[in-house]
Amino acid sequence: MKRIKTLLLALAASFITATAQTDEITVHNDQNGRDEVIDLPEGMSVSCDSLINEWMAKKYLYPDTTCANPDYNPTFTTEEYQERLRRLPVVMEMPYNSVVQKFIDQYSGRLRRTVSYALGAGNFYIPIFEEALDYYGLPLELKYLPVIESALEPKAKSPAGAVGLWQFMLATGKRYDLKVNSLIDERQDPYKSSWAAARYLRDLYKIYRDWNLVIAAYNCGPTNVNKAIHRANGVRDYWTIYPYLPSETRGYVPAFIAANYIMNYYCEHNICPMKTKIPITTDTVTIMRDLHMQQVAELCNIDVEAIQALNPQYRTQLIPGSSGPMTLRLPTETLNTFIDLKDSVYNYRVDELLTRRSSVEVDDRLDNRSVASKRRAARQQSASESSSSSRSSASKSSSRKSSRSSSSKSSSRSSRSSRKSKKVKSSASTTVRKGDTLIEIAHRNGTTVEKLKKKNKIKGNMIKPGQKLKVK
């Protein structure tokens, strides 16, 4: 009994360990006879629960409850796997080996629910992939690349910064005309990113003329593939350069072969695709003005979450149509409503949702007055220095006369100033001039700001030109 319990605990522990190690697998290298650890592609590490919680999945997908023995995964001989891979209607080379088998085991075992989701979500996305690939004359089996790249999650983001269904890096995305800024990231646009990916794959094939090398370069970049080819003495064969590739790329081509296998032979492994409730039909309209998703949602009777799910390229709820033509994808019925109510939608809650100041005024009066004051002081100082120099160069008698004259003038100015001061002091009110402040008015009239504010019942510091103020 104790032995059975120990055995069960050991099995449970091994199961937990196997399920916990979701980011890497161990494979046997037949060339050197050693085991090696290789990283799983990003799409094989995505949580299935997070995929199923996406709006598209919650709205249109549901499990097939009629599926018999959904957890039973039969085993097959090596010859059966080889024969199935051989029968695939593909132009790309799909060889079988122990590494490929490891990835088939991952998809048919631990990742069964993810495969079920991908089969259902493929109804939305794979036709888009096929259209772009077919336009450029590329093998249609490349449509399964996003399965291992992103698990068909349009907003998938890798730790390295790759984004979207096709996991474009920022520089590569921009090189293929995908806009990325604070408001939009077209790497998350299922349509535009698919066409960009097709162009990128086409360009890679022009370089390597070998599809396995192409998808290896798609994963790790041409630079790493070129280095591996150089280290393999120039041999342009994926399985020859395999040991010299980065860890994830060593598993990338085998994972791609396994993805093609499982997406075609899921029935043989008792994997049931998630069912689609209704075939979602959508269409796009061009947006030439700024538009908030809330405007569309409230007037066209659609959830904002639905708009965001159908337009994952927009980072916020703002569609920046004023910066250039933008597309808005909606369910066909909703799109017709939008067209009918277009003017009303654009004008709905504009002040609340779209108001952004294009210009602002700056109160620089204090700064201007400060500059003017400094200039006046400089002019007065210059005049004083000039007058002093003139007096020192005159004769003594003339200097005395000038001194008497200056004294007389000074006395006269002082008298006038005194009279003026008395006149100001005798005035009971003053008129605010342009550029005046409470501080200046208080100084001119021999009072304080607090007294001015109290006499005139002023709250704050705002006064207007032409305003009469009591100063006594």
Confidence of residue 427 (pLDDT cuts 50, 70, 90): low
Tell me, what's the pLDDT at 302? 96
Tell me, what's the pLDDT at 389? 57
Mean pLDDT for 408-412 is 47
Q: State the pTM of this model.
A: 0.71
Which stretches of 118-242 are assigned E, i.e. beta strand? none
Helix (H) or strand (E) holding 197, with range, is helix 190-208
Considering the chain, what is the average pLDDT of its residues? 84
Tell me, what's the pLDDT at 199? 98
Q: Alpha carbon of 314 to those of 159, 163, 182, 281: distances in Å?
A: 21, 13, 9, 20
First-to-last alpha carbon distance for the chain, in angstroms, is 107
Provide the β-strand partners of residue 292.
Answer: 318
Architecture of domain 20-276: Orthogonal Bundle (1.10)
- Grouping H, G, I as helix, E, B as strand and the rest as coil, residue 61 is strand
For tokens 């120099």, the residue is 389
Please tell me the least confidently modeled range out of 49-63, 108-122, 207-221, 321-335: 49-63
Give me the residue spans of the domains in the chain: 20-276, 282-353, 424-472
Is the pLDDT at 378 greater than 90, yes or no? no
Would 20-276 and 424-472 be classified into the same CATH topology?
no
Q: What is the pLDDT of residues 159-184, one digit of tens each?
A: 999 999 999 999 999 999 999 999 99
Tokens coding 435: 């550029």
Q: What is the pLDDT of residues 339-375, one digit of tens each?
A: 999 999 999 999 999 987 778 888 766 556 666 667 7
CATH of 424-472, one of 3.20.110.10, 1.20.1050.90, 3.10.350.10, 3.40.50.10470: 3.10.350.10
- DSSP secondary structure, 275-341, as one string: EESS---EEEEEE-SEEEHHHHHHHHT--HHHHHHH-TTBSSSEEEGGGS-EEEEEEHHHHHHHHHT
> In Å, how far from its chain's centre is CA 119?
28
